[in-house]
Structure 1
Amino acid sequence: MADGIRHGPLGANCVHLCIDMQRMFGPGLPWAVPWMQTVLPDVVALARHHADRTIFTRFIPPQRPSDARGSWRRYYERWNGMTRQALAPEYLRIVPELEDFCPPAKVLDKMVYSPWTEGKLDEMLANSGVDTIVVSGGETDVCVLGTVVGAVDRGFRVVLAEDATCSSADATHDALMALYRSRFSEQIETAGVEEILAAWP
């Protein structure tokens, strides 16, 4: 259960970071996230509320497994059908309901779970005055996890939109939500989209 907005309203220095809501995670594909369609209306509500303050990330696989390094190469040998040589380019795109917000929303591509590792998000936020990040998208226990931990490390106030995040695994989604609320209680707030929208005029 969400613990709510506990550290005051969300102001002009807040951005919405929406993680990997892409067509490649849709029905019938190896990486399908069944919950994605369930949470999509709430993600749309967040994006619509401040489209100009929204950044969508996209997870971009390598062209072929041999282009990846270290354990990523083994990963893509297992998931060869999700490399760019096998996957139609359209599947890398944001789902249509969210793509409509671009622009003014921005898109950031990444080749690993975290949007921070490659430095592009740091560059995008540099000198912006941003101090708060609302996080939505998927998966709760993979790329959202990498996003949230990176934001905490950088000192951002993090608000996780509990009903706008999704995973393909119920057990680890629940475990991570419990972790966010307990071990990171001073740095991460979990709240429903309705409460977030009310706190972010």
Structure 2
Amino acid sequence: MHDWRIDPREYARHEQRRGRRHAYGRLSGRRTALVVVDMVRFFVDGSPYGPGIVPQVHHLAQAVRAAAGTVAWVLPAVSAEPDPWAVEFYGHTTAEAYRRAGGTGGPADRLAPGLVPAAGDLVVEKSAPSAFFPGRCPLPGLLEERGIDTVVVCGLVTDVCVAGTARDAATLGYRTVLVADASATRSDAAHNAALTTVYRSFGDVRAASEVAALLSAAGSG
């Protein structure tokens, strides 16, 4: 697990501004969605911290379902050819690896072991780092249909697709919470830098146990 932290000065900044450490002290179960980003074998196995967050993601999904919320599994889209931009930027070998990162088969086959969608969960693909980038993922429209106003974001990797998803969700007006110990990347330094940026400007950063407690207090309301 990451040794995650927010610098006390960042907490103090928001406490001075709004009078409290966290923007969102309450969650409405029915209006909350857990957005699980890229928890596929390619990324889980490729991160030294990836396998360690699988239990946290699983427990969060259970907590959201128990509160009558929505669980959304967001998987990388698999295309027929590598994206030309990716080929130029990463080189052909890496671009081809990312093209196939989403895996094959049904959702249960593509997700990391220990993670299984339940009836009523959403399973969507995205063709951009962010699940909320316009035109690149159906998730925003599906959440709007369900009356969702709060997104709890977790998964891989913290400083790319997870943070990008959180930032775009906030830009679209969602109350946004990034779960620090249910997200991971390659180093504590990169993880904590991403957490700090999100906390400073886009959303709350919480531990999984705190999110579960808020959902339990909310019930199915």
Does the 8 Å CA contact 1:76/1:82 hold for their aligned counterparts? no
Does the 8 Å CA contact 1:81/1:87 hold for their aligned counterparts? no
> Match for residue 63 of structure 2?
49
C-alpha displacement of 1:63: 2.5
Q: Would the alpha carbon gap of residues 152 and 81 (structure 1) be closer, same or farther in structure 2, given more than 3 Å must change?
A: closer
C-alpha displacement of 1:167: 0.6
Backbone CA RMSD of aligned residues = 2.4
**Percent sequence identity over aligned pairs:** 26
Paired residue for 2:113, among 83, 88, 96? Answer: 96
1:5-20 maps to which residues of 2 (within 5 A)? Answer: 5-11=22-28, 12-20=30-38
1:58 aligns to 2:75 (yes or no): yes
Paired residue for 2:48, among 25, 34, 52? Answer: 34
C-alpha displacement of 1:35: 0.8
Greater Cα offset, 127-136 or 87-96: 87-96
1:129-148 maps to which residues of 2 (within 5 A)? Answer: 129-148=147-166
CA distance in 2, matches of 1:39, 1:149: 21
CA distance in 1, matches of 2:147, 2:44: 35
> Match for residue 162 of structure 1?
180
> Match for residue 121 of structure 2?
105
Unaligned runs of 5+ in 2: 12-20, 217-221
Does the 8 Å CA contact 2:75/2:102 hold for their aligned counterparts? no
C-alpha displacement of 1:87: 8.6
Unaligned runs of 5+ in 1: none
Q: Would the alpha carbon gap of residues 147 and 87 (structure 1) be closer, same or farther in structure 2, given more than 3 Å must change?
A: closer
Q: Would the alpha carbon gap of residues 8 and 83 (structure 1) be closer, same or farther in structure 2, given more than 3 Å must change?
A: closer
C-alpha displacement of 1:56: 0.6
TM-score, normalisation: structure 2: 0.76
C-alpha displacement of 1:62: 2.5
Q: Would the alpha carbon gap of residues 133 and 87 (structure 1) be closer, same or farther in structure 2, given more than 3 Å must change?
A: closer
CA distance in 2, matches of 1:38, 1:88: 20
CA distance in 2, matches of 1:5, 1:109: 31
Q: Would the alpha carbon gap of residues 178 and 26 (structure 1) be closer, same or farther in structure 2, given more than 3 Å must change?
A: closer
TM-score, normalisation: structure 1: 0.83
CA distance in 2, matches of 1:168, 1:48: 26
Does the 8 Å CA contact 2:77/2:102 hold for their aligned counterparts? no
Question: Aligned residues, how many?
Answer: 189
4+ runs deviating over 6 angstroms: none
More helix by share: 2
CA distance in 2, matches of 1:26, 1:151: 23
Paired residue for 1:23, among 26, 31, 41? Answer: 41
